[in-house]
Structure formats: structure tokens, C-alpha cells
Structure 1
Amino acid sequence: MTSSWHVTTDDLRLYAAGRCGPPLLWSVESHLVACPACREQLTGLAEPALLGDGWAALDAALDAPRPGPVERLLGWAGVPEHTARLLVATPALRLSWLGAIALTLILTVSLAWVAEPMVFLGAAPMLPLLSVAVSFGPGLDPTYEMGLVAPIDALRLLFLRVVAVVAATAALCTLACLTLPDLSLAAAAWFLPSLALTVLALLLATRFGMTSAAVAVAAGWTLLVGLTYNAPFTAAGQVTSAVAAAVAFALLAHRARGLDPARFFPRRTR
């Protein structure tokens, strides 16, 4: 059966562009089922739009950044794509920085063999702290400006990166522990002080900025080890470090929520 009327060209253009609403939409679709002439005309109108969409999709696919090995590894581990993209932009997770951490650990372990394991225990807690310090800020973070204006929770971004950086650095320190001349449970005594130093620096960063906070905490730790020798690595010292980390984390969570991200990491000065 042929139709005695046809859909106007303007209405077909609206339908091809997806801008045709009811009840006209229902009428056009019902007519197209029974009218080959209008279907043929619709094909001619829709082809340029489909062709443009196809080229746009191709351009987007060609311009899309290709995930690197770390991002692919995070994807295989079940990390969401947007979270993985945030993590791979972290400067302290780059191979260059991790290589520098590994070199530092090799030197401290070598000194531990020549001198004593205290050299390693004193230096290891500062490595995650320094790694976190270089993970943020206008001079080091390539996504710093975007992070200030992006519609994401600054506290979530902060904790995501800190956990990833501390985990990567702690893994390297753990491997270094296995090469110490005196391999025992005492070789892992660096971890709790490291956690306390990192969280304390983050807490101070809400007021003084990350760089100043990291320098102050590292200097304080060096002075403490110099004055008390192995006290932080005894059972009492480990308990003190755990309590200090828990208290600092609670204060950080309370203070950081609702703060401007720039309070953690001051804007670039021009």
C-alpha cells in the first residue's frame, strides 16, 4: 500500500537529527514503515550526519591518550579507568623517581653492611614522606592546575595518591629489608614511624603547604633519631608511632574536609 501523503523535508531533517518529538515522531515513524520514497529521502538526509559522527568518533579515538604500562596494570587489577588516570599522573610513581628511591635504598643498605642497620632504619621512614611531598604542587605535578578546578573531591585525590605512593615506596623498602645483614623483625621497624611522619606532614600541609611541612617533619625526625638513637624502633617507640599516626589521621580527616585544595598545595606564583 502506498501513502497518499509524504513527510516534509524539514520534518525528515528533524527526525534524522534526533530532534523530532511526539506526536510528530510517532506520525513520521508510522509513515516511514509504509513509504519507501520517504525512507529513501531519509537515507539521503541522514548520511551526512552519520558520516560526520563517524569522522568525529575516529578523531576522538586517534587523539585519545594511550594508557601506559602502569595504567594498564591498574586496569587489570580492577582499578576504575578514571582513578587509574589520576594515579599515573602522580610524579612519585614515575620510573625515574622510583629509580631514585631504589638507588637511595641500595646506598643505605650498603652503609648498613659497612656500619650498622640503624643507618637504614633512620633513612627508610623519610622516603615515603619525600615521595608524597613530590607528588603534589605546581612545580612537580603536571595535573596540578586541573586538580584545583576539577569537580573532584580534593581529599579523595589526596588520599588516593598518598596510598599509592606509600604502597610503592614501602614495597621497595621491604625488598631492601631482605638484604640487610641482620634480618629480623627489627628490620621492619621503619614502617610505623614512616606512616606517622607521612600523615603528620599531611596534617601540617593544611596550614603550611606540603613542601614546608615535609622539610619540617624530616628535620624533626633526623633530630629525634640523632638524640634518641634507636628509641623509635623499640616496642615503646613503635606503639608511640602507631598512636601518633592514628591521632594525626583523625585530625587530618577532620580538618581537611571542606578546605580549598590550594590550602594543601599553594598556587603557582607568576
Structure 2
Amino acid sequence: MTWHVSEEDLRAYARAELAAPLLWSADTHLAACARCRAVLAEVSEPLDAAWARLDAELDAPRPGLFEALLLRLGVADHTARLLAATPVLRRSWLASVVLLLMTTLGVVYTADSPTLFLALAPLLPLAGVALSYGPALDPTYEMAVVSPVHGFRLLMIRTVAVLTTALGLNGLATLALPDYGLRALAWLLPALALTATGLALTPRFGPVLAPALVGGGWAALIAVADAVADGGPLAPFTAAGQGAAAAVTALAAGLLYLARDRFDVFHRSAV
């Protein structure tokens, strides 16, 4: 026998990529040629390795709708998985936020004043970020601890996702208050200020106490402002109050950046 199947064709045969009529010739030849069968055994993927690869593909988690959408938008697969695993992005949380906003809007229309909505809306992003991070509230926290992800980066990824969702819902609720014009958007800067302050205090007080203190401080500020308003707009929603909120946001963002490495220490020691 002077003709043998080339190694390139044997590799294609092993991958089931060899087309007819070469496939038929290879089948016939291999049945009678021990040398080519030996070469085929060398170039073929070992059976155990093939089964292991098949098991890995079968056991790989299937991306959900949200994760698949992120992947289609060009988000890296590991970042998409972290975003999809953000515990606050659940239908129950979103439904409760929508219900709360609808109830608040109903009260606003009844009282003909946006004050309640303006006071409540900044707390929703703060609560969302608090619920998306930390050992007490995050069911995937232990997995995040052992993953090679910077604690600050993980926090920022989830914060952006939660802020986008919460601010989007608040924005939709704002559209239901067209009669109040730009006053209905006065919640935006306080929301950013509260969220940034809560994050900046997290390394010192933890992911539960820090937002609780910030939320309590906001509630106290609203109560004091309401007591001295004498029927006028509350101080946090005036031009001076909006400027103060912007300054607090910038200051808190700077402190958060300076303390970014402390999130790794907190991230590891909290377990």
C-alpha cells in the first residue's frame, strides 16, 4: 500500500470536517491501514478530554435575558455576569419601587405639592446601592470575595447599574408631574449627594449602617426644612440647596476615590 491519508486530512476526519469523496476514501483506507489508524489516534482529541469539554459546556450557566442583552451591547462577559448577579436588580425590588413611586405620585396629585416626591426620590438610589453590596444583603458576596476583582471596581459596577435603574424609574415618575416643570427634577442632585456620601462612609461604617445614617440625616434635614419653610419651597430644593447638593456630591466622590483601596480590606475582612 503506497498511498496514505495525509495528517491534515486525518485531523479534519477526527473533527468530522472531512468532506466527500475524501471522507469515503479515508473510511475505506483506515479499515485496512494500521499506520493511518495510529496517526489518527495521535491527532484525535483524547476521549476523556472530549468528555470533559462536553461536561464543561453542558454545565456552563446559560445567560439570562438581562445578561444576554448586556453581552449583545458589547459588555465584557465577566462584567455582564457581575451586573446580572446584582441582587437588587430583581423583579420584586423593581415592582416594589414602581409601586412606591406610583403611590407617592398619587399623594402628590392629591395634595397638589411635589414635596413628598422630592423628599422620597433621593432615598431610592441610596437604598438600591445599599442592597446591592455587602455580606448581609448580597447572596453572592462570598463568591465576590474569592474572585480576582478589586472591591472598589465591583462596587462601582453595581452602583452604576443600580443608579441607572433607580434614576431611570425616578425620571419616568417625574414625567408624570409636568405641571411642576423643572421643580420636579430637584430630587436629582440630592439623590447623587446621598448615594455618594453613603458610599464614601461605607469603609468606615459598613454597607448597612452608612446608608442608614445618610438616609436618617436626609429625613431629619427634610423635617427641619419643612418646619422653617413657612409654606415656601424646602431649602434642599432651592437654588442654594441644589448648589450645596452638588458640592456634597463632588466632595463625597473625591473622598470615595481616596478611600478606594480600603474597599479591598473591608471586602475581605467582612466575611
Name the TM-score class by shorter chain.
Answer: 0.7 to 0.9
- Identity across the alignment (%): 46
Q: In 1, distance between residues paired with 2:127 and 2:161?
A: 14
Question: Which of the numbers 80, 85, 100 marks the counterpart of 1:89?
Answer: 85
What TM-score, normalized to structure 2? 0.80
**For 1:106-145, what per-residue CA distance to the aligned partner results, in whole angstroms no more than 9, with x for missing partners?**
1111111112210100000000000011101223212201
Choose the corresponding residue for 1:254, options 228, 244, 258: 258
User: Residue by residue, what CA displacement relative to the aligned partner does 1:51-82 show, whole Å, maximum 9, x if unpaired?
Assistant: 32322222112111111111111112221111
Deviation at 1:189, TM superposition (A): 0.7
| TM-superposition CA deviations, 1:136-179 (whole Å, max 9, x none) | 12232122012122111111111111011011000000000111
Corresponding residue for residue 98 of structure 2: 102
Q: Which residue does 1:236 correspond to in 2?
A: 240
Q: Distance in 1 between matches of 2:189 and 2:49?
A: 55
TM-score under structure 1 length normalisation: 0.81
2:217 alignment partner, one of 194, 216, 220: 220
Q: Residue 217 of structure 2: SS of its match in structure 1? A: helix
What letter is aligned with 2:50?
A: G
Q: Is the 8 A contact 1:134 1:140 kept in 2?
A: yes
Q: Secondary structure at the match of 1:218?
A: helix
Indicate if the aligned counterparts of 1:117 and 1:182 stay in contact, CA closer than 8 A. no
Q: Distance in 2 between matches of 1:266 and 1:203?
A: 18
- The separation in 1 between residues aligned to 2:63 and 2:156, in whole angstroms, is 22
The answer to whether the aligner puts 1:140 opposite 2:144 as a matched pair is no
Q: Secondary structure at the match of 1:182?
A: helix
Partners of 2:256 and 2:267 in 1: CA distance: 11
Alpha-carbon separation, structure 1, partners of 2:129 and 2:52: 40
Q: Tell whether 2:263 aligns with 1:267.
A: no
Q: Could you tell me how far 1:190 is from its partner in structure 2?
A: 0.3
Distance across 2 between alignment mates of 1:61 and 1:37: 33
Which deviates the most, 177-186 or 93-102?
177-186
Contact 1:91 1:141 in 2 (8 A): yes
**Pair 1:195 & 2:199 matched:** no
**SS of structure 2 residue aligned to 1:209:** helix
Q: Residues 91 and 97 of structure 1 are in contact (CA less than 8 Å); yes or no, is this contact kept in structure 2?
A: no
SS of match in other structure, 2:224: helix
- Is contact 2:203–2:263 with CA below 8 Å preserved after alignment? no
Decide whether the 8 Å contact of 2:145 with 2:267 is kept in 1: no
Q: SS of 1:93's equivalent? A: coil
Please give the per-residue CA displacement for 1:201-244, whole angstroms capped at 9, x wherever unaligned: 01111101011011110010011011113111111111111111
Q: Is the 8 A contact 1:192 1:242 kept in 2?
A: yes
Distance in 2, Cα, partners of 1:177 & 1:106: 11
User: Whole-Å Cα distance in 1 between the matches of residues 262 and 248 of structure 2?
Assistant: 23
Alignment correspondent of 2:24: none
Matching residue of 2:174: 177
**How far apart, CA to CA, are the structure 2 residues paired with 1:41 and 1:70?**
48
The 2-side partners of 1:222 and 1:262 are apart by 31
Q: Distance in 2 between matches of 1:117 and 1:111?
A: 9
| 1:101–1:159 Cα change, 3 Å | same
